[in-house]
């Protein structure tokens, strides 16, 4: 007969049990280091670089979540090189990412949606050991902040072109096709803050736990569903879409697909990644080349979706094969699961 006092269900036992995590706590840095042991291509220096992104993401998340309280929302008064009104948080997010990445000694070049030109981190004479290029959109969809809609950061990580490929220079380091990304991902500032990344070995999602200030593994080895239930497109532009897009969308509606569109790319792509379906930004009258940027919007999400078993094209070419000609080059985008992308390609073949 145990002489232990009967457990009072309303009170913890005198001896609090040893810490029992609801789930194993694996931070993104630990995950990368584990990857390193399994995949030699993912080096320890990469986890150091990624820690620059996660630090910046925590700082940006903290600001985004208090935007309305700090008069951080709204326009910052200036315009960025895109001619878009710069939101105050765009400026902050860009400064934070530039700082957090520039202090990583293995980062040589930084390119941002907010800056006209790429930036050499260490003046004009970077030390030869500098090896990474990071291209990013610090706060995509920032015009949604005023109305408390999810926004995101997107990033693409490349290696500098080796010198033997001709005179390596900053622009040739940045203007590489998406197939040469060594890693890519996004941060979604939504109902929770999530980091989703790939280093070419699957797609993994980490949720920021504000209680411990760490991104903790919450979605390991994400796979896009074979077939989803939603298509995601701004139907206001439908009359300007190419006929193949209109036929495709008619077919999806006939197959009882629903429609979901946030108007913030990272949110729309993240839902498509987790629930399946298709996200499109076709050419429109205002943006005949498409609206989204190839290097720092389409390439990262295309790498992610392909690693999760989906596909991404500009309507005709695989996004990751498109040779960039300029840093802020736009592209149209069709991104989704196998079933939806097969259906799109059938529509193109019938043209
Ligand atoms: P539209 C946000 O401004 C953005 O660049 C993407 O995040 C988003 O997918 C797209 O534009 C929305 O554009 O024309 O539907 O408002």
Cα gap 175→15, rounded to integer Å: 60
CA distances, 8 to each of 2, 3, 5, 259, 348 (Å): 15, 14, 8, 51, 67
Instruction: Write out the two tokens for 52.
Output: 């620059």
Report how far ligand 1's centroid is from the alpha carbon of 177 (Å): 23
C-alpha closest to that of 324 among 155, 176, 121, 142: 176
Cα gap 221→198, rounded to integer Å: 9
C-alpha closest to that of 347 among 212, 243, 244: 244
Give bridge partners of residue 293 from the DSSP assignment. 330
Query: Ligand 1 within 6 A of 234 CB?
Result: yes
Task: Point out the ligand 1 atom lying closest to the alpha carbon of residue 84.
Answer: 3
Domains of the chain: 28-219 (3.30.540.10), 230-349 (3.40.190.80)
Which of 93, 291, 328, 330 to probe ligand 1 with, by most ligand atoms within 8 A of CB?
Answer: 291
| Residues in Cβ contact with 18 at an 8 Å cutoff, skipping those fewer than 6 apart | none
- CB-based contact 95:59 (threshold 8 Å): no
- Per-residue pLDDT tens listing for the chain (351 residues): 344 444 555 555 556 555 555 667 899 888 888 877 766 555 567 788 889 999 999 999 999 998 878 665 566 666 666 655 556 889 999 999 999 999 888 898 999 999 999 988 876 555 555 689 999 999 999 888 889 999 999 999 999 887 665 555 789 899 999 999 999 999 999 999 999 999 998 999 999 999 999 999 999 999 999 999 999 999 999 999 999 999 999 999 999 999 999 999 999 999 999 999 999 999 998 999 999 999 999 999 999 999 999 999 999 999 999 999 999 999 999 999 999 999 999 999 998
Report how far ligand 1's centroid is from the alpha carbon of 9 (Å): 52
Query: Ligand 1 within 6 A of 287 CB?
Result: no
How does DSSP assign 6-41, residue by residue? PP-TTS--SSPPPP--SS---BHHHHHHHHHHH-TT
- CB-based contact 112:142 (threshold 8 Å): no
Report how far ligand 1's centroid is from the alpha carbon of 205 (Å): 23
Query: Ligand 1 within 6 A of 141 CB?
Result: yes
CA distances, 20 to each of 17, 23, 24, 31 (Å): 8, 8, 9, 20
Task: Point out the ligand 1 atom lying closest to the alpha carbon of residue 281.
Answer: 9
CA distances, 259 to each of 22, 40, 217, 249, 295 (Å): 35, 42, 30, 10, 27
């Amino acid at each position: 007969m145990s002489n232990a006092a009967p457990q009072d269900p309303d009170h913890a036992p005198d001896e609090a049990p040893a810490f029992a995590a609801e789930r194993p706590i694996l931070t993104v840095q630990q995950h990368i280091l584990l990857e390193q042991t399994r995949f030699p291509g993912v080096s320890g220096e990469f986890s150091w670089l990624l820690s620059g992104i996660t630090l910046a993401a925590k700082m940006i998340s903290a600001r985004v979540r208090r935007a309305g309280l700090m008069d951080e929302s709204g326009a910052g008064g200036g315009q960025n090189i895109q001619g878009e009104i710069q939101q105050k948080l765009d400026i902050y997010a860009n400064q934070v990412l530039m700082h957090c990445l520039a202090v990583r000694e293995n980062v040589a070049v930084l390119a941002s949606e907010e800056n006209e030109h790429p930036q050499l981190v260490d003046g004009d004479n970077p030390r030869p050991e500098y090896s990474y290029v990071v291209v990013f959109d610090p706060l995509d969809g920032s015009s949604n902040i005023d109305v408390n809609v999810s926004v995101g950061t997107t990033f693409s990580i490349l290696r500098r072109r080796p010198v033997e490929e001709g005179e390596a220079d900053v622009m040739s380091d940045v203007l590489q096709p998406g197939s040469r990304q060594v890693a890519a991902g996004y941060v979604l500032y939504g109902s929770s803050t999530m980091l989703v990344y790939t280093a070419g070995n699957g797609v993994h999602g980490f949720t920021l736990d504000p209680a411990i200030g760490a991104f903790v593994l919450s979605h390991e080895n994400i796979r896009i569903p074979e077939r989803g239930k939603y298509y995601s497109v701004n139907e206001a532009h439908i009359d300007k879409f190419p006929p193949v897009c209109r036929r495709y969308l008619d077919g999806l509606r006939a197959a009882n697909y629903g429609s979901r569109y946030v108007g913030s790319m990272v949110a729309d792509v993240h839902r498509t990644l987790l629930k399946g379906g298709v996200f499109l930004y076709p050419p429109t009258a205002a943006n005949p080349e498409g609206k989204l940027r190839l290097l720092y919007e389409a390439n990262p999400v295309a790498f992610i979706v392909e690693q999760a078993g989906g596909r991404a094209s500009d309507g005709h070419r695989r996004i990751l094969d498109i040779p960039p000609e300029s840093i802020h080059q736009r592209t149209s985008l069709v991104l989704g699961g196998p079933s939806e992308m097969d259906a799109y390609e059938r529509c193109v073949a019938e043209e």
